[in-house]
């Protein structure tokens, strides 16, 4: 079994889901007392969030690149950046190590295209929805990507940072999030990407009826499990 390097803490709420899902996946695949071989580097999210707000992406990239080098030195065979938003600096992380980085947007796009869809709505932080680093990666797989309007983007961003990242899971926010998703479906989205790892604390496949939701944390974990258990 290959060793998985998790670069997490952004936020730790979703990183805990990565740890749980990876271990459950190995247990289900191998049975018995098997668990995943994992090394984890968990950063202080307050520091990273400051860099996001200031637009200090070079500084953030240097920080996460150094953490990735630490994972490689600890024996990791692959790196998972456990956050959609910080894939803004994925290239800096990937270039800092000699082991592969499994890109979250690639795993998500593979799932969408396998489902036979071509137009999806994207929910996430304002950085993920509005900047090109994530949408462009999805579009590179041939997908058309819709995002919410300005007010809805601000609402989703607030739910993520003010509630989910600090452990608050509110029923009213779940309903508001699904309403935002439905408005994108009304505009032509065939499925909705939960493009923030914390959003799976609010919504799961089936939450929007027959409209498929793509849970990026689970999709990322599935890609990592295939890599770790290959052969």
Per-residue pLDDT, 204 = 84
Alpha carbon 125 to its chain centroid, in Å, reads 11
Per-residue pLDDT, 155 = 97
Decide if 83 is catalytic.
yes
- Annotated catalytic residue: which of 108, 196, 197, 217? 196
Decide if 204 is catalytic.
no
93 and 170 both lie in a single domain: no
Per-residue pLDDT, 205 = 83
- Considering only CA atoms, give the Rg of the chain: 17
**Domain tally for the chain?**
2
99 and 110 both lie in a single domain: no
117 and 43 both lie in a single domain: no
pTM for the complete prediction? 0.94
188 and 209 both lie in a single domain: yes
85 and 20 both lie in a single domain: yes
56 and 130 both lie in a single domain: no
What range does the domain containing 192 cover? 104-215
**What CATH number does residue 64 fall under?**
3.40.50.1860
| SS3 of residue 28 by DSSP | helix
> SS3 sequence, 99-113?
CCECCHHHHHHHHHH
Retrieve residue 136's tokens.
Answer: 């462009």
191 and 158 both lie in a single domain: yes
| SS3 of residue 185 by DSSP | helix
Per-residue pLDDT, 183 = 97
125 and 203 both lie in a single domain: yes
- Annotated catalytic residue: which of 83, 108, 125, 216? 83
Per-residue pLDDT, 231 = 56
Beta bridge partners of 191: 120
Q: Which helix (H) or strand (E) holds 52?
A: helix 45-54
96 and 17 both lie in a single domain: yes
71 and 10 both lie in a single domain: yes
113 and 94 both lie in a single domain: no
pLDDT values of the chain reduced to their tens digit, one per residue, 231 residues: 999 999 999 999 999 999 999 999 999 999 999 999 999 999 999 999 999 999 999 999 999 999 999 999 999 999 999 999 999 999 999 999 999 999 999 999 999 999 999 999 999 999 999 999 999 999 999 999 999 999 999 999 999 999 999 999 999 999 999 999 999 999 999 999 999 999 999 998 888 999 999 999 999 999 999 999 985
121 and 89 both lie in a single domain: no
């Amino acid at each position: 079994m290959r060793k998985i390097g998790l670069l997490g803490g952004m936020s730790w709420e979703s990183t805990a889901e990565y740890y749980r899902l990876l271990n459950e996946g190995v247990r289900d695949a191998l049975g018995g007392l098997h668990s995943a071989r994992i090394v984890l580097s968990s950063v202080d999210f307050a520091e990273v969030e400051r860099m996001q707000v200031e637009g200090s992406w070079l500084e953030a990239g240097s920080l996460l690149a150094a953490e990735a080098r630490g994972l490689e030195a600890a024996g990791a065979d692959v790196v998972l950046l456990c956050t959609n938003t910080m894939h803004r600096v994925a290239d800096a992380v990937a270039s800092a190590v000699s082991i592969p980085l499994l890109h979250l947007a690639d795993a998500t796009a593979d799932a969408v295209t396998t489902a036979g869809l071509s137009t999806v709505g994207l929910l996430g932080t304002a950085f993920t929805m509005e900047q090109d680093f994530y949408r462009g990666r999805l579009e590179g797989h041939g997908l058309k990507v819709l995002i919410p309007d300005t007010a809805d983007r601000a609402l989703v961003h607030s739910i993520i940072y003010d509630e989910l990242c600090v452990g608050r899971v509110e029923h009213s926010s779940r309903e508001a999030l699904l309403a935002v998703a439905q408005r994108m479906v009304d505009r032509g989205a065939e499925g909705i990407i939960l493009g923030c790892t914390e959003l799976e604390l609010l919504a799961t496949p089936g939450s929007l009826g027959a409209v498929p939701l793509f849970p990026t944390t689970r999709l990322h974990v599935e890609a990592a499990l295939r890599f770790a258990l290959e052969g």
